[in-house]
Amino acid sequence: MSEVLPRPEASVYLDHAATTPMVEAAVGTLVARLREVGNASSLHASGRRARRVVEEARESLAGSLGCRPGEVVFTSGGTESDNLSLKGLAWARRAADPRRVRLLTTAVEHHAVLDPLDWLATDQGAVVDHVAVDHRGRLDVDALRTCLERDPGSVAAVSVMWGNNEVGTLQPLDDVVALAAEHGVPVHTDAVQAVGAVPVDFAASGVDALTLTGHKVGGPYGVGALLVRRELDLTSLVHGGGQERDVRSGTLDPPAISALATAVELAVAGQVEHAARMSVLRERLVRGVQQVVPEAVLNGAPLDDPGAGLPGIAHLSFPGCEGDSLLMLLDARGIECSTGSACSAGVPQPSHVLLAMGRDEQLARSSLRFSLGRTSTEADVDALVAAIGPCVERARAARR
């Protein structure tokens, strides 16, 4: 396993689902390439060297993720990839057939999926159906079938994430792809949290477009990719020099792209070992926290069915607490985590994921996400367990 950059000793970092430290190999690749000059679109020797870096990275990503090199479109990250896929598909499919105005998704998607879909509905005349999920956050396959069969000729695309970024629940993508294929509907999946955590093979999955990003797998910020089948028409978001199959114009970033490929290659190669270690740490964390705070509620995959969720995410609700207060109390003790909820204009909002799973607003606001990564240790987990009891007591007292 590649080494990672050290973090401050005083900090216990349990927010790897937000971003995880770069692996040393990716740092080395990035730094070395930053010293090189050349625009990958230029025809002179420096440009050709830059182009070689990009194409070698493209081939590496393809080999790691089970796709063809020509199916890799480099972007600035997960949000751009999601927007490109969803808007590009919606526009292209509607241009080919004006009836195709419906977009199907779940209510537990990341906002990088939900917000573009909302915009398409508000400004572009699309119709967005949010298919129900169960109490674990897993898509109701029968509900998706009903939604598809209601008027399949009107459906432009389906978007279902691979693994949930808040509670970690894995979605039944095989079923989604099979149902959509019956009606010739393309499927997009946001796999930002899944790559390196669970097996991800683009070709084997049957999806038509897949989002990933660098900073979740030990790569740099600001670089990602959209894997998209060559035969799938996408309307561009950004027009210019025609880079990336004329799907995503803009000067390419060879250093970041090369570092992304390095990080993905290492993450995929070490996925099985990593997942096993994360599962053990997740169980230690959940059992430890619930021993100290018996009322704590685990959201997502239960401990007796770890394969139903991402191995490194432990999402817990603490009745009687405000999640933001509990987060800050833990932060004061050097333990960093996340509420996993969105904020609008500085006003905390209950997690849309938990509400879709049937939790009430009060319980949803009492939740924290602890996400583990390659730097996580038993000592990190034990530090959280030692701190959580007093922090919960103080958070509850603050509400009285």
Q: At what angle do helices 254-269 and 271-292 cross, to 10 degrees?
A: 70
Contact call for residues 205 and 185 (beta carbons, < 8 A):
no
Q: Spot the catalytic one: 321, 337, 343, 391.
A: 343
Closest CA to 36 of 21, 54, 20, 60: 54
Tell how many helices (H) and how many strands (E) occur in the chain.
13, 14
Rg (CA), the chain: 21
What is the rounded distance in angstroms from the CA atom of residue 201 to the CA atom of residue 213? 15
Structure-block tokens of residue 224: 């990602």
Cα–Cα–Cα angle for 169, 298, 141, nearest 5°? 30
Cα separation, 306 vs 308, whole angstroms: 5
CA distances (Å), origin 1, targets 67, 96, 270, 274? 24, 47, 7, 9
Q: Measured between alpha carbons, how far is 247 from 270 in angstroms, rounded to an integer?
A: 32
Query: Annotated catalytic, 343?
Result: yes
Query: Token pair of 69, please?
Result: 């090199």
Amino acid at 305: D
Do 89 and 128 contact (CB within 8 A), yes or no?
no
Catalytic residue list? 343
